Amino acid sequence: MYANLERKDWLDVRKTGIGGSDVAAVLGISPWKSPLDVFLDKTGQAKPQIESDAMYWGTRLETLVANKYCEVSGNEVRRVNSILRSEKFPCLIGNIDRAVCPEKGKLPVVKGVFRTPKILECKTARSMSDEWGANGTDQIPEYYLTQVLHYLGLTGCECCDVACLFLDSRKFGIYTVYADSDLIATMFARLAQWWDDYVAKNVPPPARSIADVQKLFKRSAAVEITATKEIEDAAFEYASLKKQEAEIAAKLESAKEKIAVYMGEADTLVDVGGKPLITWKTGKDKSRTDWQKVAKVAGATEAMIAANTTTCAGNRTFLSKIKLS
């Protein structure tokens, strides 16, 4: 365990292993990065990371989410300012958000040993997508599930509460994920094998996307490559689809404009029998919270969040209601 690290030291240690936020990428299920991105990061070949909106809010609002969790659950938590490393697989590391106190007033971690059955992971999400289940269940997005299982494997804890603040609705949920020893063992072995195959040998993993290819090959080379039958078919399909795309886009915009001008303020276009053909309705007004202001205040209250929330008028959405066979 690496405790009380400075930011620079923490970043250096992160390069020595696969952390919780890397797991989904290595397994190929991350919506944000690929196995190649992890490889480039660990081998020092990645460009300096620019903080995304998701990263910004995740960091700034972590304390607010943790405080809300304590308020709702009645539990006490403590920040764990250290990086954990697996004894069996030294290439596997992790930095958990917080540990839940086993009893009020009792420390959850003593001299690097976890004395609690439960840890806490704090999340923020733009909206409650279908990947999130009902509050109180164990249904969380797959890319977060692998991160949580990784931390449970490193700490030996029984379960992890995932507390999430959904920014668009300001709803708050707590999800409990229990350790699955067989799944964790399989996942750890796969992650360690990936590290040995690629990072340890400094051999990049295969490209999985155009973005990966562009990272591997910054510039094109004056080289001809002969297409296989499969790739040649894909090339002809691409040319055909690009031609159709341009033709369809022009026709689609022309038809939409003609209908919209005819409808004016009406929100529904019907046929002579009254059956809806097109709807162009104004959606519900949406609330927007200035999370940047909220994040600057430690222990922000519900009243403060409400004071920094404004209502925005909904937009009109153009939809076809015609069912084609």
Residue 295 has pLDDT above 70, yes or no: no
The model's pLDDT over 43-74, given as tens digits with 9 standing for 90+, comes to: 999 887 776 666 676 677 899 999 999 999 99
Contact 82, 110 (CB under 8 A): no
Residue 224 scores a pLDDT above 60: yes
To which residue do tokens 């002809």 refer? 236
Rg (CA), the chain: 25
pLDDT at residue 305 in the model: 75
State the pLDDT at residue 4: 58
Range name among 107-111, 169-173, 221-225, 271-275 with the lowest pLDDT average: 107-111
Determine the average pLDDT of the residues in 206-234: 93
Task: Give the pLDDT mean for 259-282.
Answer: 95
The percent of residues in the chain predicted with pLDDT above 70, rounded, is: 93
Residue 286 clears pLDDT 80, i.e. is over it? no
State if pTM tops 0.75: yes
Helices (runs of H) and strands (runs of E) counted in the chain: 11, 15
CB 99 within 8 A of CB 116: yes
Question: What distance in Å separates the CA atoms of residue 260 and residue 178, rounded to the nearest whole number?
Answer: 53
**Least confident window among 125-129, 203-207, 248-252, 283-287:** 283-287
Of 19-28, 131-140, 289-298, minimum mean pLDDT range: 289-298
Stretch 177-202: mean pLDDT: 97
- Give me the phi and psi of 238, to 5 degrees please: -60, -45
Q: Which of 140, 160, 168, 164 lies closest to 62, judged by CA?
A: 164
pLDDT of residue 60: 79
CATH class label, 2-215? alpha beta
- Per-residue confidence band for 300, with pLDDT thresholds at 50, 70 and 90: low
* CA atoms within 13 Å, Cβ hemisphere of 112: 9
The token duo for 302 is: 């519900």
Q: Of the ranges 141-145, 200-204, 285-289, which one carries the lowest mean pLDDT score?
A: 285-289
Where do the domains of the chain lie? 2-215, 224-262, 265-325
Query: What is the residue-averaged pLDDT of the chain?
Result: 89
Mean pLDDT of 243-259: 95
pLDDT tens digits, one per residue of 128-158: 888 999 999 999 999 999 999 999 999 999 9
247: Cα separation from own chain's centroid = 36
